[in-house]
Structure 1
Amino acid sequence: MSKKYTAILISDGICLLLLLWFWLALPSQLFISPTSYLVEASNGELLSASIAKDGQWRFPEANTVPQKFAQCIVAFEDKRFYQHPGVDLLAMSRAMRQNMKAKSVVSGGSTLTMQVIRLSRRESRTVVQKLIEVLLALRLEITHSKQDILKLYASNAPFGSNVVGLEAASWRYFGRSPETLSWGEMATLAVLPNSPSLVHPGKNSVKLIKKRNDLLDKIAGLKFIDQTTANLSKLEPIPGKPQALPQTAPHLLNRFKTERLALKNKSTRVTSTLNYDLQLEINSLLKRYNNRYRANDINNISALVLDVKHGTVASYVGNIYQPENKELESHVDMIRAPRSPGSTLKPLLYASMMNDGFILPRTLIPDIPTQIGGYSPQNYDLGYDGAIPADKALSRSLNIPSVKMLQNYKYQRFYDQLKKLGFSTLNQPADHYGLSLILGGSEVTMWDLAKTYMGMARTLNHFNDYKGRYNPRDYDAPGYIKGKNAARKAYFEAYETQVTSVLDHGSIWNTFNAMEELMRPGEEGLWEQFSSSQRLAWKTGTSFGFRDAWAIGLNPDYVVCVWVGNADGEGRPGLTGIDVAAPVLFDIFKLLPNANWFTPPKTKLKKMRVCRQSGYKAGEYCKDVIEELVSPAGEKTVLCPYHKLIHLDKTGTFRVTDACESPADMLHVSWFVLPPAMEYYYKIKNSEYKLLPPFKPGYGDVGNNYVMDMIYPKDYASIYVPVEFDGSRGKVVLNATHRNSDAKIYWHIDGEYIATTKNYHQLAVSPSPGKHTLTLVDNKGERLVQTFTILDKEKK
């Protein structure tokens, strides 16, 4: 091989290496500095922003550069930007002449492309670095359009203080997006990167105004604007100190921060599904209520609005944001915080029991003093109805019927049902919660609660879409990123539907109708007026100790959930769902469009003959029968247990048996008969209830042990009797009922006679601690025996 050929190979190799270096010298990502987190509304308006990790206000790169800024910055920094290949030789030669003449650097001659390279490298300004900038600028122009280069510059140029990039500067100095700036405002920003450490709002204002005005004259000379516009723009004031950025959805911003990687969102900017105007209106509404409630030391309030049809978040206010008052803990996102749900799970139990064939919509549920293994639930009004239709128990949010329903349904089954519905905070086994599960004995988040009710509404809305089948994706979490909900909807349609679901159409339909009957807060006339404008299914809840007040409501288009309380868990008198959360709920619905009611899923409802009095499936002795549309699972329910056939004498005055009356002379009558304990309270509130006629004089109620019942205590109850101030043990009041109002009851404890009662069967006694046997004997010899335990110490 000749030396000449070798020299050629070496020369070619060097050229190849230089070419390779030239091509690979430019990083695939020029800027790797951390950027601010931004949440925008669905219309692109900025809702909230947070400063970048390095303490700079630096927004992620925008998709476009405003035309005003492009014209201003090109006129000011690089007038031949669209003609040169990244390096302007004319500008560089001019700069060299000026610098040599002045014997100092008075002009740089750098193009916008070269400035982008310099901003990305942050190297000292030497001749070598200048040459590298020239080469990298040429390289950048090969693979990037002029618009791309302008975007890089606009996103990363310094604008003074800790402000980087046009968009951040626009918000910090003018409180608006750059697309809305005037020519004077845009010219002000365009001159800042030239010397941001020396000239920026709040510093050297005279020099800044001169630079801006000179630029306005220049762009007028280039015919971008006329001279009149330039002169008027010169009259605009320059901004003073930087402004705070919007904090309209700070809690959603923090949520996005924690979920960004899981959401596979590369940018720290997210365009959300939030309705901008609605978010502002709800923020304002909650602030007004918060100002009112703080007089009672109730410091926090939050609201979540979900768009049912799209499965997205329409408004997200995790708390009233008050960072200046740290003791208020307004930074806590109550939408994500686990809290006691109060009574808000009761509709889910009601729906589950209908879905599984335990009850019909108006099945009578016992409402009597109850003690179960030492657990004694109480109704909010401390009263009893004896028996109440299930839908009325739900609309009045009565605790005892709910506990009785859960006892029948089994708390383990309901626990599993809640898991299927997606409640993520049930971290303990079912036995840990027990029957208190239905009264707020667990913790849930507003997110899970609203998601579940949205899933029920979506299921009912999709009845026709899926031809009566079910889509399990209806219970998916709502989306809050714009664009992804479209993919969700497509997935809903493509997903294979199923024959069954966690809750069937009929059960959901009946549940929403029962929830519509809830008593509304405030003056009757006010809420009647509101009721005429919208139909809503809604429920309130109050946790033990008045720590949490809830209200959740829905129609086919929206789910609204409201929580009021203190983030630190402090309870306050009057902190109830009906008093403080429900008014907020209804005011939010006033901000939303009216919606029609749900379409009845008629092919998924079954007409059933139902006993009007008991709400059970009609039996052979039920005379007042109505037809109801119920879930097909209603076929599994039992026949009415309360209508019985009784035998009266021919006058219809007394009950008789064949021992005292010939069957031929008897009247055989259907009679509505409740158990004695239920009857005791039921007859007080239901004047139409007819007591059983007495037996014919001289003939006892032989063999009928259904005449007496204990109201309190129930069998196997555990009772703690407080000690009085004088140190003596207090008394427990025993309460019994008898069908015969004239009957006498003889009371015995542990075989020892205590007293006799007639008509009104109550007795105050003071048994010693330990287990006791209570025996009641009436004047006909009927006996009732049960046990109870007096505790030495109160159960914790």
Structure 2
Amino acid sequence: MNKTPKAFLISDIICFALLLVFLFSLPTKLFKSPTSFVIEANNGNLLSAAIASDGQWRFPVADSVPVKFKDCIIAFEDKRFYNHFGIDFLAMSRAMRQNFKAKSVVSGGSTLTMQVIRLSRKQDRTIWQKLLEVILALRLELKYSKEEIIGLYAANAPFGSNVVGLEAASWRYYGRDAKTLSWGEMATLAVLPNSPSLVRPGKNSARLIKKRNDLLDKLAKLKYIDQSTANLSKLEPVPGKPLPLPQNAPHLLNRFKAERASLEINSTRIKSTLNEDIQLKINSILKRYNNRYRANDINNTSALVLDARTGQVVSYVGNIYQPENADLQSHVDMIKAPRSPGSTLKPLLYASMLNDGFILPHTLIPDIPTQIAGYSPQNYDLGYDGAISADKALSRSLNIPAVKMLQQYNYERFYDKLKKLGIGTLNQPADHYGLSLILGGSEVTMWDLANTYMGMVRTLNHFNTYKGLYNPDDYKQATYFTSDKKEEKDYQRTSFLDHGAIWATFNAMEEVMRPGDEGLWEQFSSSQRVAWKTGTSFGFRDAWAVGLTPNYIVCVWVGNADGEGRPGLVGIEAAAPVLFDIFKLLPNGKWFETPKTKLKKIKVCKQSGYKAGENCPDVAEELVPTAGEKTAVCPFHKLIHLDRTGTYRVTDQCESVTSMQHKSWFILPPAMEYYYKIKNSDYKSLPPFMTGCENNGGNNVMELIYPKNGAIVYIPLELDGTRGKIVLNAAHRNQNSKIYWHIDNEYVATTTNYHQLAVSPVPGKHTLTLVDENGERLVQFFTVLDKEKKQKD
């Protein structure tokens, strides 16, 4: 009986519906189980891994499967794998005969394709489920290649205990990458998915060895290996207790886990940019130093190495990893932790002032007792130079000159510059930090600090590459994983810091004072030129060292993650030795090229470091950043008039102009002069005025060193409970002069030569008047805090 057109239409619809069901029967994502987070080195070797959220060691699907495993698993499970379409009818019919004869299930007949489907569905093994596996296996073969199918099997097959997948199994049982396994080792792993319970330490070893040896013989029979190789492989031991996975970059692994979503990376595995050899050696260096520092209860050390040429992370050691001792807080990633930077921001201020035309490299900066709105910075050695060149102030890391420079530059301007350079932890307004910003009064992370210096290095490195222009991408943060993204080329004529200012800053950083008399110099011997800076935070809580070459940036932090300070925790002693040991690992290279077109030769006063004026007698031509032309002319060289003998200063009231000697003289303000001449024996004080000559010098002959005008002071109690005293300190140009001291217009005392006076004025506002023997007067004000008010504050 012929079918009607309607019957044909119904049958077509049914066929089409079945076809649709078949085509869409396979889930878009076959395996939805969570996978372990995995970090590989740039050579593909495993650095660190974390167990998956379901408690299984399960690595993401690998790009390729080792040939040995393919041969072993195909020989053991599915020898016609490459010749069927997901179903091996010969194997199925053989299994049915064996099972019928034995009256139990002794053979499965499932192909690797069918096993992939079963692993993905995790359903009970019934006849209907078996039929569904057959259908889905056919669909799987249409969608995936044979290599992809075997890759899915290798990544998701059970290997005993909580180990899933070949890669995890290789590391858990043999402590090596699967690509390095021998035939005996690979054969052992290949038989496990069939009976994963065989790998229980101390149990089932005999059964496991027999199954492995049978497979080795089968491999020889199928000509994958020769019989002698099979026999030798039988002598290899089988694994016992699972091994821990490598933890050579655990903090970077945790960082990747936290940032994966924002990085838009789908896989939980990344091939990082870390150099395995350098990472392992730096781990070893930090452990060695940490063992030494632990004697002083300094528990944590971290290091970060960036490659300036590629903008990539070379080594990332967030802490000495000691999970067995929770009290040490080794899990804390100190590369991401905000900490006080100590003096490590000083080079950035120096570069900014050069860049904006505030100073030249050798410009003299005041180094005298300083009090600014109740803030009194101190140098580390508690001494004063009176005046010191800006580059030496940087190399010696003097605090008072740094504060004076920031006061001149303006802390709001510097705050904005730091944000532009990439310091992302300045969460408070600029006024919150004030001048303490330059002495570690803010917080930075190692990550931001190293990336900021890398931006400067990359800018200078690209001077010729970009033909004197700038690429803002040079200040982009380093990457720690390989990416196909290409660097954008958006050249600009200006940047945060110009080539000349960066070049001059690195030159100054190369001269940082290194240990000498302390007998530590040998630790710092290095075949490479390194520009570097140390830092120590208030209370000895953080020790820093940051160093750079044209190729690498190294940042080291030493301290306690909980913020506890320790005596001796200073940058030069704790962090700098680590820094230079790391630089010994890194390849040497040429130093920075001089950016000649971004430098200008100008005449500089040798004694003051300022742009030479008409009264500067000793002038030198120096290469300085082009903004140096905007700097002030030397203010310290002035023309003075001497008598015919050159002994006394004179005016036209007591000496004829024709008889005068006119001479340029280096004159520092009294307070600067007071300290400067102590350390500079060649400094010549101004000659005194001839008797009868009027002193037209004004009040510039005297200066109050402490307290500064408008200062607020507190007088503490002595140990015996009596009220203490403050020491007033003044400087006079004439060393032999007398100063008459008055407080609130009442005479107090007279001083000669060294003008210091201990007094104990009552709380309140006071007027301090100084009069010298020539009648010169200096009037200033200060306030003494009341004891009770101080305690409330």
1:102 paired residue number: 102
Corresponding residue for residue 470 of structure 1? 470
Within the alignment, does 1:723 sit opposite 2:717 as a pair?
Answer: yes
Quote how far apart the aligned CAs of 1:636 are: 1.1
Match of 1:645 among 621, 631, 639: 639
Structure 1 271/520 Cα, relative in aligned 2: closer, same or farther at 3 Å? same
Aligned twin of 2:47: 47
Check 1:726–1:201 CA distance in 2 against 1; reply closer, same or farther (3 A cut). Answer: closer
Residue type of the alignment partner of 2:74: V
What residue is the counterpart of 2:222 in the other structure?
222
State the Cα distance separating 1:794 from its structure 2 match.
3.8
Give the counterpart letter for 1:98 in structure 2.
Q
How far is 1:3 from its partner?
6.5
**Cα deviation 1:271-294 (Å, max 9, x = unaligned):** 011111000000000000000000
Shift of residue 56, structure 1, vs aligned partner: 0.4
Deviation at 1:199, TM superposition (A): 4.8
Q: Judging changes above 3 Å, is the alpha-carbon distance between structure 1 residues 532 and 87 closer, same or farther for their aligned structure 2 residues?
A: closer
Q: Deviations over 1:58-109 (max 9, x none)?
A: 0000011111000000111111111121111111111111111221111111
State the Cα deviation string for residues 508-538 of structure 1 (Å, max 9, x = none): 0100000000112366887479556111110
Give matches, 1:671-750, under 5 Å.
671-702=665-696, 704-750=698-744
Q: Is the contact made by 1:721 and 1:790 (CA closer than 8 Å) also made in structure 2? A: yes
- The alpha-carbon deviation at position 699 of structure 1 amounts to 3.0
Aligned partner of 1:308 in structure 2 is 308
Label 1:277 to 1:715 Cα distance change in 2 as closer, same or farther (>3 A).
Answer: same
1:399 aligns with 399
Describe how 1:48-67 pairs up with structure 2 within 5 A. Answer: 48-67=48-67
Partner of 1:771: 765
CA shift digits 1:357-408 (9 cap, x unpaired): 1000000000000000000000000000000000000000000000000001
Q: Is 1:422 aligned to residue 436 of structure 2?
A: no
Per the alignment, in what secondary structure is the counterpart of residue 170 of structure 2?
helix
Equivalent in 602, 606, 612 of residue 618 of structure 1: 612
8 Å contact 1:521–1:582 — kept in the other structure? no
In structure 2, distance between residues paired with 1:319 and 1:56: 26
**Structure 1 partner of 2:447:** 447
Any residues of structure 2 matched to 1:196-215 within 5 Å, and which? 196-200=196-200, 202-215=202-215
Per the normalisation by structure 2, the TM-score is 0.98
Correspondence for 1:88:
88
Q: What is the aligned-residue RMSD (CA, Å)?
A: 1.5
Q: Aligned partner of 1:546: which letter?
A: F
Q: Which amino acid aligns with 1:115?
A: Q
Q: Is the 1:723–1:729 Cα contact (8 Å) retained in structure 2?
A: yes
AA aligned to 1:608 is I
Aligned match of 1:142: 142
Structure 2 distance, partners of 1:121, 1:521, is: 67
Cα distance between partner residues in 1 of 2:203 and 2:118: 25
Once the two structures are TM-superposed, the CA of residue 12 in structure 1 deviates from its matched residue by: 2.1
Q: Distance in 2 between the 1:794 and 1:441 partners?
A: 22
Distance in structure 2 (CA, Å) of the matches to 1:375 and 1:399: 12
- Contact 2:47–2:249, Cα closer than 8 Å, also in 1: yes
The answer on whether the counterparts of 1:199 and 1:207 sit within 8 Å (CA) in structure 2 is no
* Cα separation, partners in 2 of 1:554 and 1:488, compared to 1, 3 Å: farther
Say whether the 8 Å CA contact 2:422–2:452 is kept in structure 1: yes
- The one-letter amino acid paired with 1:640 is C
Alpha-carbon contact 2:433-2:442 (below 8 Å) kept? yes
* Change over 3 Å in CA distance of 1:134–1:702 after alignment to 2: closer
After superposition, give the CA deviation of every residue in 1:95-130 in whole Å (9 maximum; x if it has no partner): 111111221111111111110000001110000000
CA distance in structure 2 between the aligned counterparts of 1:7 and 1:473, rounded to whole angstroms? 69
1:71 maps onto 2:65 in alignment: no
The one-letter code sitting in structure 2 at the alignment partner of 1:706 is N
Give the match for residue 746 of structure 2.
Answer: 752
CA distance in 1 between counterparts of 2:132 and 2:525 reads 73
What code does the residue aligned with 2:513 have?
M
Q: Residue 201 of structure 1: CA displacement?
A: 5.4
Distance 1:653 1:198 in 2: 104
Report the residue type matching 2:461 in the other structure. Answer: N
Letter in 1 for 2:661: L
TM-score, normalised on structure 1?
0.98
SS at match of 1:217: helix
1:703: Cα distance to partner? Answer: 5.2
1:689 partner SS: coil
Residue equivalent to 2:168: 168
Shift of 1:483: 3.2
- 2:246 and 2:259 mapped to 1: Cα distance? 21
Superposed displacement of residue 496, structure 1: 2.3
Q: Determine the structure 2 residue equivalent to 1:514.
A: 508
Unpaired segments ≥5 residues, structure 1: none
Residue type at the aligned position of 2:645:
T
Tell me the residue number matched to 1:790. Answer: 784
Residue equivalent to 2:390: 390
Deviation at 1:726, TM superposition (A): 2.9
Q: Distance in 2 between matches of 1:530 and 1:488?
A: 38
- C-alpha deviation, 1:202, in angstroms: 4.7
Distance 1:12 1:356 in 2: 81
Q: Which amino acid aligns with 2:749?
A: A
Q: Distance in 2 between matches of 1:529 and 1:544?
A: 26
Correspondence for 1:596: 590
Question: Structure 1 residues 545, 250: CA separation in 2 closer, same or farther (over 3 Å shift)?
Answer: same
Q: Please tell me whether the aligned partners of residues 606 and 632 of structure 1 are also in contact (alpha carbons under 8 angstroms).
A: yes
Which residue identity does 2:591 align to in structure 1?
Answer: W
1:130 aligns with 130
1:363 aligns with 2:363: yes
Match for residue 263 of structure 2?
263
Give the counterpart letter for 2:255 in structure 1: R
Q: Give the percent of matched residue pairs that are identical in Structure 1 and Structure 2.
A: 76
Query: What is the SS of the residue equivalent to 1:591?
Result: coil
Distance 2:393 2:364 in 1: 9
Structure 2 gaps of 5+ residues are: none
- Tell me by how many angstroms 1:786 deviates: 0.4
Alpha carbons of structure 1 residues 200 and 192: separation in structure 2 relative to 1, 3 Å: farther
Cα offset, 1:698, TM superposition: 3.5
1:32 — aligned with what?
Answer: 32
Q: Is the 8 A contact 2:357 2:630 kept in 1?
A: yes
